[in-house]
Amino acid sequence: MYEIQHVHFLGICGTAMGATAAALRERGFTVTGSDENVYPPMSTFLEEKGVTIASGYRAENLPANADLIVVGNAIKRGNPEVEAVLNRKLFYRSLPETLKEFFLRGRHNLVVTGTHGKTTTTSLLAWIFERAGLQPGYLIGGIPRNLGQGACLRDSKYFVIEGDEYDTAFFDKRSKFVHYLPELVIVNNIEFDHADIFGDISDIKLSFQRLLNIVPQSGLVLLNSDDANCVEIGKTCPAPIIEVGFSPNAANRIEDAVCDASGSRFKLFGAEFHLKINGNFNIRNAAMAVSAARFYGVPIPVIQEAVATFEGVKRRQEVRGERNGIKVIDDFGHHPTAIRETLAGLRRQYAGSRIWAVFEPRSNTTRRAVFQHELPAAFAQADGTILAKVAKLEQIPEAERLHPEQVVADIAATGKPAFYEPDVEQIIARLKGLAKPGDVVAIFSNGGFDNIHARLLAAL
């Protein structure tokens, strides 16, 4: 690679893009960037680091002396800066490729993957390493409460990174995680998701197999023993494998698992671990992180202390407030399995409370009819359900669209109240008539959902 001094980012205000840009600036590079959404806190964070940001995309934003253009995952053909990069034959790379060359090469990289639980597992693993004094670098698709930030790209022997199976860039349709030079890989679970880029579950399994194919013999793969798809992809893995889970076949078997109002506890390696967050899926997430930390020699007492003090991740079962005895919880869940498991955990945590579930179909998969029949069952643990309108419905071909009214009808057919309320104001009005002191309102969305949490609390 020829000498690089000036790096320009397209889509610089994304969490991972901004963190990478700031880290390169701290290493002495000249860094500039563009984005159509330039606003605090990322814009002020970057400006304080000495990064110049252009608002909007224009060909003239490209510095004449830029040595490398980093193209974000959200950037598409037709973007004026992309077209200028291609016409001028400039040197460009995706963010995962940039991370690999500048931050991951030569490190012990711990890559956490799976359809569900990536952010929580990555956050806990980074926290364990932090408490062990190992000063890890990390890049996480959320904000861990203990760490206060989702990215820390410091020089370290260890790098803990959330490995997304989504595609890398418009010019590279491989999953992001194949660029991360893994030494240890966690595969939490494998289900169908990302219907906009994967045709079926076999496509997704193939992508995970490609990741396992690049784990070295000196490394390790931790697989969910309770997930048939994980077990299947492990059969051809050339690297050492340890299965983790509740199954009797698991080498690292979770035992004596208990979930109650105080959180969760379980045994692994003959030691008991206490976790403030609830649910069997979070117990398995924690067992994965514990197993990874043991591989790198972190002592059991240190791991126990880190697990016990782990505060979770923002937007994962996060209590946003309470008004008149009604709790409002924010959760990022947008896949039927994640919704079902989160509701099951809330049911244990708030035993005796009525739970109202509110769901905005917003992901590229849930906006489609892929889970038309799975979604009603996902809300079985709720006492009542409200579905919002499908976000950006016009982007989905009519024949492929989810029908929220039918989801609501299918839930209502089980005897539980269910409502379709397309507007946030209507959702709030409905909840004001339904919710009573002692109830819990769990709001599921992977977006901002028109600030529904604060608006609902104000209305209550």
Residue 366's pLDDT is what? 81
Residue 261's pLDDT is what? 78
Distance CA 124, CA 147 (A): 10
Distance CA 223, CA 318 (A): 27
Residue 165's pLDDT is what? 87
255 class by beta-carbon count within 10 Å (0-12 exposed, 13-18 middle, 19+ buried): exposed
Distance CA 456, CA 445 (A): 15
Total residues belonging to the chain: 460
Which CA distances in Å does 100 have to 40, 95, 112, 155, 394? 28, 9, 16, 13, 37
Among candidate residues 317, 321, 227, 305, the one with its CA nearest the CA of residue 278: 317
Which CA distances in Å does 314 have to 40, 102, 145, 147, 396? 18, 28, 7, 11, 30
Structure tokens at 436: 């009573």
Structure tokens at 107: 């490190």
Distance CA 306, CA 300 (A): 10
Give CATH for domain 106-308.
3.40.1190.10
Distance CA 425, CA 358 (A): 13
Task: Return phi, psi of residue 281, to 5°.
Answer: -65, -35
Which sign, positive or negative, has the C-alpha torsion 16, 124, 318, 402?
Answer: positive
Structure tokens at 137: 């670098």
Topology of the domain covering 318-459: Protein-Tyrosine Phosphatase; Chain A (3.90.190)
Question: Tokens 């053909």 correspond to what residue?
Answer: 77
Distance CA 436, CA 198 (A): 42
Beta sheet of 271-275, edge-to-edge order: 255-260, 263-268, 271-275
Distance CA 331, CA 240 (A): 35
Compute mean pLDDT per 10 residues along the chain, 460 residues long, and list them.
Answer: 87 87 91 87 85 94 94 94 96 96 95 91 96 94 82 91 90 93 96 77 92 96 95 94 94 92 91 91 94 97 97 82 90 83 86 91 82 87 90 82 88 91 90 90 87 89
Which CA distances in Å does 365 have to 265, 286, 456? 33, 27, 27
Structure tokens at 303: 């791991």
CA dihedral 277, 281, 286, 287 (to 10 degrees): 150
Distance CA 279, CA 286 (A): 11
Q: Is 400 helix (H, G, I), strand (E, B) or coil?
A: helix
Residue 195's pLDDT is what? 67
Distance CA 66, CA 89 (A): 12
Structure tokens at 422: 């397309």
Element (H, E) at 159: strand 158-162
Domain ranges of the chain: 6-94, 106-308, 318-459
- C-beta of residue 407 within 8 angstroms of C-beta of residue 378: no
Question: Tokens 């304080």 correspond to what residue?
Answer: 48
CB atoms within 10 A of CB 128: 27
Residue 7 DSSP code: E
- C-beta of residue 434 within 8 angstroms of C-beta of residue 417: yes
* Bridge pairing between strands 151-152 and 158-162: unpaired
Beta sheet of 52-55, edge-to-edge order: 52-55, 30-35, 6-10, 68-71, 92-94
Cα distance between the two ends of the chain: 58
Give CATH for domain 6-94.
3.40.50.720
Among candidate residues 423, 437, 261, the one with its CA nearest the CA of residue 348: 261
* List of E strands, 309-396: 318-323, 326-331, 355-359, 384-387
